[in-house]
Amino acid sequence: MNLFDVYPLFDIVPEKAEGSWLWDKNGIKYLDLYGGHAVISVGHSHPYYVEKLEQQLHKISFYSNSIKITLQLDLAEKLGSLSGYPDYSLFLCNSGAEANENALKLASFHTGRKKIIAFSKSFHGRTSLAVAATDDPSILSPMNENSNVIFLPFNDESILEKHLTTEIGAVIIEGIQGVGGVNIPEKSFLHKLNELCKKNGIILILDEVQSGYGRSGKFFAHQHHEIKADIITIAKGMGNGFPVAGVLINPEIKAKHGMLGTTFGGNYLACAAAIAVLEIIKNEHLISNANVIGNYIVTEIRKHKLVKEVRGLGLMIGVEFDFPSAEIRNKLLFDHKIFTGSSSNKNTIRILPALNLKLEEADLFLTAFKSCLEDIKK
């Protein structure tokens, strides 16, 4: 059987990884500044994380959600406290797309409405929402044509009042747009959105799947703007590579047996991984590290004349050029052995390293980046 060929692949076969480093099958060492789309939050094979997963594997790895899994309570308690949402409830699932589907479903249960607002250049996973962060209409399925989703221009405050009416059930927005090229919502835009949601009984869903878990230098990116969401979705960095996701739910949205459900969500291994990640983030002060190292990288990159714009908060950084960024990205990977990410904005590369990236590792990247730009100027 062949693999269904939906991913463009680099011809690199990693065999082991540690911290921010990967080794391929030929022993070549790579600096990982992408973490497989922002998934690696506490570094590859972090010893505490490995130990906790191993211990759990020897105890019990799976049973269905028909029995009490106390690790889920432990996870909810730690997540509530570190995220600043201690009074919210947690629904555990397996991926970002699933978290968003459940969030939209909850919003429709709560409001009795089915229309949804999302924004241009957004990406919320391969859900029943269209993939807005694409210029390629051939990857939009015909299903999307019947969708109840209205896409509004991102960061355009002037049209919000007209569209956020009592017909709308939910607004979904990323804490920072990731796939779309690292675009930060403006404070006044988010505040207006929040105000209109409150006024018209609309559920505000913050998709923090990529921007959450300390990546932006706060636990959630929307916390830079002092707003509170009704529902927050999380995944990627939550399990440091173990598939686990969640939905944080405002206490005003009441649970009912059978309302949501999942087979694998909240299993023992997923919880052990997610708890270990939270403990490492807290004990090793990784949110503060994301701020310090992120600011340093942004400041240094801004000094280069070939760079059009650097956007980002913490260790979620987008670097935009006036030309397609593929050449720089390929040079970083093949000449300097550094992984970075692309985005749907062809001129922008994404830098999404582990939150414990060290200063000397950032310096290695900055030296390589400078050399790539010099090669391009020649």
Nearest CB to ligand PLP, comparing residues 217 and 239 = 239
The binding site for ligand PLP (CB under 6 A) comprises 37, 95-97, 100, 123-125, 174, 178-179, 207, 209-210, 235
Which two structure tokens, joined as six digits, stand for 166?
């009592």
Nearest CB to ligand PLP, comparing residues 169 and 241 = 241
91 to each of 197, 220, 235, 270, 305, how far by Cα in Å? 22, 17, 12, 13, 46
Nearest CB to ligand PLP, comparing residues 207 and 361 = 207
Residue 160 DSSP label: H
Q: φ, ψ for residue 351 (rounded to 5)?
A: -115, 115
Q: How far apart are CA 347 and CA 325, in angstroms?
A: 5
Minimum CB separation of residue 123 from ligand PLP in Å reads: 5
Which residue is it, tokens 């540690």? 18
Nearest CB to ligand PLP, comparing residues 97 and 310 = 97
Q: How far apart are CA 16 and CA 29, in angstroms?
A: 10
Minimum CB separation of residue 12 from ligand PLP in Å reads: 20
Nearest CB to ligand PLP, comparing residues 35 and 294 = 35
Adjacency order of strands within the sheet including 29-32: 14-18, 21-24, 29-32, 338-339
Alpha helices in 220-307 (DSSP H): 268-283, 286-301
List 149's β-bridge partners, or say none.
116
Which residue is it, tokens 């970002």? 96
Minimum CB separation of residue 103 from ligand PLP in Å reads: 10
Q: How far apart are CA 180 and CA 245, in angstroms?
A: 21
Which residue is it, tokens 């919210």? 88
Minimum CB separation of residue 180 from ligand PLP in Å reads: 9
Minimum CB separation of residue 274 from ligand PLP in Å reads: 14
Nearest CB to ligand PLP, comparing residues 96 and 294 = 96
Minimum CB separation of residue 256 from ligand PLP in Å reads: 25
With a CB cutoff of 8 Å and minimum separation 6, the contacts of 275 are: 52, 71, 74, 75, 78
